Amino acid sequence: MDFLNFLFPVSGVYTNILIPPLVALIISFFTSMGGISGAFLLLPFQLSFLNYTAPSVSGTNHVFNIVAIPSGVYRYIKERRMAWPLTWVIILGTLPGVFLGYYLRVYYLPDPKAFKVFVGFVLLYIGIRLLMDILGLTKQPDSLKTLEKKFKEKSEAMKKQHQAQIASGIPIDAVIKTINISYKKVVYEFWGERFEFNVLSVSLVTFLVGIVGGAYGIGGGSIIAPFLVSVCKLPVYTIAGAALMGTFITSVAGAVFFTFAPSVGGYSAMPDWLLGILFGIGGVGGMYLGAGAQKFVPQRYIKSFLAIIIMGLSVKYILF
């Protein structure tokens, strides 16, 4: 199988060409259910297993997002589970931060050790928010509790009817309907329940997340999605498509900027487009399948999976 080994000239990574798409396929299948592309897990994989520690690894992650995310977004749009007002708030908030994130990465975080600690604290914040939500340490709105109850009741009914192990949790007619839009608040309906979010607070958070996401090479989705679920109390079934779309748009800007921006302090952030595309090829299948499978999986399972992975990685990069 030596003929499958390849040296990527930009990053200097030498690996079997089947490994990047396979890893991306598996990761993105699970993470896309929560509105996360999987780039935040691909980064540690590149740092630890491929020994790709140069600043350009962040731009390479943006390339992965560009290639992989459209298939998942298409699935959410097709099934009418895209919250468009939320999508645009995320895009307008994170986009400016991506450019600031570039300078943060190159000026202050070029050293691999410092970058790993930075990555660890970002992941730690995400994990703590998710863990608090899973353990019931944060108050849940009645609409979210009702949605969980409906999912459970329908699953049980389908299991009894078809005597199957896997039941259809979200009915085909459960789509997102925008009820009211203003500069202060957006209200939408999903499966008979109403949810709302404050436009100003979400915009502010997404701007700050955009800065971190730009430096991290993830577009910010892996921080925004847990924030919307844990802090804004929005159901994961309604925020996943919006978070992925926001990540896609900001990643396009990030990849272009990382490609053409001049070197700073002797460090180049030029992405390894070939490696990023290879990761993206696997991500295409993972995103599409994950977006479709999401409606069959209870929210607590999605959040628990993400919390375990994130907390483990955060400890590893902070302490080791």
Q: What is the domain partition of the chain in residue ranges?
A: 13-319
Q: Three-state DSSP class for 191?
A: coil
What pLDDT was estimated at residue 159?
A: 53
Closest-CA residue to 172 (of 81, 288, 235): 81
What pLDDT was estimated at residue 278?
A: 96
pTM of the predicted protein model: 0.82
What pLDDT was estimated at residue 164?
A: 46
Q: What is the mean pLDDT of the chain?
A: 83
What pLDDT was estimated at residue 77?
A: 93
69-78 pLDDT, tens digit each: 999 999 999 9
Sheet with strand 193-198: strands edge to edge:
176-181, 185-190, 193-198
- Residues of the chain with pLDDT below 70 are 1-2, 102, 105-106, 109-112, 154-169, 213-219, 261-268
And the tokens for 265? 């302090």
Share of the chain above pLDDT 90, in %: 31
- 183 contact partners, CB below 8 Å, separation of at least 6: 199, 200
Beta bridge partners of 264: 267
Neighbours of 254 (CB within 10 A): 35
Contact 300, 134 (CB under 8 A): yes
What pLDDT was estimated at residue 166?
A: 44
Q: Three-state DSSP class for 63?
A: helix
- 228 contact partners, CB below 8 Å, separation of at least 6: 35, 86, 197, 202, 234, 239, 243
Closest-CA residue to 297 (of 189, 172, 168, 171): 168
And the tokens for 111? 């050293």
Closest-CA residue to 61 (of 271, 303, 208): 271
Contact 219, 247 (CB under 8 A): yes
